[in-house]
Amino acid sequence: MEMLAAVMRGTNQPLSIEKVELAAPKAGEVLVKVLATGVCHSDLNAMEDETTPVPTILGHEGAGIVVEVGPNVKTVKVGDKVALSWVPFCGTCEFCQTGQVNLCESAFGPMFAGTLLDGTSRLSQNGQGIYHNSLLSTFAEYTVVPEMSCVKMPEGMPMAQASLIGCGVATGYGAAVRAAQVKPGSTVAVFGIGGVGVNAIQGARIAGASRIIACDLKAQNLEIARKFGATDVVNVGEVDAAEALKELTGGFGVHYAIDCSGNTMAAQSAWKGTRKGGTTVVVGAFNPKKELALPAGGFHRVGKILKGSFYGDVHPFRDFQAIAQLYLDGKFQLDELVLDRIPLQDINRAVDSFHDPCCVNVGRTVVEFGGEAG
């Protein structure tokens, strides 16, 4: 079928709105009419990265309606409204079998190769192949995705809000609820208040934390953190964050610290500000050239856990639906994350906004297709 898509043709070039061909779904694949897609900072990173295979169609935060299913698809049917996950899983490897579907390796080869799970593409133009991105390529009117990327949404879930669940929302929520396993009445610090951090705050709030301490360099971000449930804020540019956390928690430090910043210095502060027996979770991606240094003295005596978490340890089929239901019940803030709604033709405007130093990195511009996004 023919459709409109925003095509990335080269590094540091604006996306180009073009007609492209999309082939029918094969076994285990689903054709989704995209109704809404978030424009993420990771899309800009891909546009600036010379290793991104081109031409490609970016976009990994999406929601839409199932219009066709390939052979052997069991979990969704035509007419289902779905939110998309950019970490599909095989269900059969050792990691999947032990419930760690976020660690399934099946997605990574195709993700870097720019294909679907079988190593081929459904996208083309005049007989020339176009690469997929994150196995989703949602900057298009339609997309063919793995069945395991499609999570059915509850009745009444608006699509713009649903489109955001699969990236920073799930990662932040999962960091608190799944990776840290925040307990009711506990204290939680969240470092790095961006698209992941505010949702870690929301996860901690929903898990029943009594105190949620937002830690960031920007006063503006700390104010935003309060709107999502932070009870206290620490400006890490003004005070020693670890000491501030101890002061706020009777000298012990927090039960859980979650670092969403991708900054090794912040992760060190998170670790130092975590109390004995507590847990520090790192979800931000560090610069691979850096090393994370922790104080060695007394390490064995404090009984602390340091845990790296990919995708917030979420299981999409369990956690995406839980987040959507929490939203519908008025317990999870997603409306506040939809900053603007634009048509596909204006997508470069959303990408350009990331270059604005005043740009608030919490929430998204959402591209909507047609009038059904709701």
DSSP state letters, 254-267:
EEEEEE-S--HHHH
282-301: contacts with Zn ion (CB under 5 A): none
- Which CB, 253 or 312, lies closer to Zn ion? 312
Q: How far is the CB of 168 from Zn ion (least distance, A)?
A: 6
- Which CB, 42 or 269, lies closer to Zn ion? 42
Stretch that binds Zn ion, among 151-159, 165-173, 313-321, 361-369 (CB under 5 A): 165-173
- Which CB, 89 or 131, lies closer to Zn ion? 89
15-44: contacts with Zn ion (CB under 5 A): 40, 42
Q: How far is the CB of 93 from Zn ion (least distance, A)?
A: 3
- Which CB, 130 or 167, lies closer to Zn ion? 167
- Which CB, 253 or 363, lies closer to Zn ion? 363
Q: How far is the CB of 104 from Zn ion (least distance, A)?
A: 3
Q: Tell me the C-alpha distance between 13 and 58, whole Å.
A: 13
Q: Tell me the C-alpha distance between 188 and 279, whole Å.
A: 10
Site string for Zn ion, 249-278 (x = CB under 5 A): ------------------------------
Question: Tokens representing 205?
Answer: 């709030």
Contact status: 337 vs Zn ion (CB under 5 A): no
Q: Tell me the C-alpha distance between 226 and 255, whole Å.
A: 20
Out of 82, 167, 212, 233, which residue is the one contacting Zn ion (CB under 5 A)?
Answer: 167
87-126: contacts with Zn ion (CB under 5 A): 89-90, 93, 96, 104
DSSP state letters, 302-362:
S--EEEE-SGGG--HHHHHHHHHHHHHTT-S--GGGEEEEE-GGGHHHHHHGGG-TT---S
Q: How far is the CB of 57 from Zn ion (least distance, A)?
A: 15
Q: Residue 5 in contact with residue 140, Cβ under 8 Å? A: yes
User: Burial of 165 by CB count in 10 Å (0-12 exposed, 13-18 middle, 19+ buried)?
Assistant: buried
Q: Tell me the C-alpha distance between 43 and 86, whole Å.
A: 13
Q: How far is the CB of 61 from Zn ion (least distance, A)?
A: 5
Q: Tell me the C-alpha distance between 374 and 310, whole Å.
A: 31
59-88: contacts with Zn ion (CB under 5 A): 61
- Which CB, 179 or 337, lies closer to Zn ion? 337
Q: Residue 112 in contact with residue 132, Cβ under 8 Å? A: no
- Which CB, 116 or 167, lies closer to Zn ion? 167
Query: Using CB under 5 A as the criterion, which residues of the chain lie in contact with Zn ion when the complex forms?
Result: 40, 42, 61, 89-90, 93, 96, 104, 167
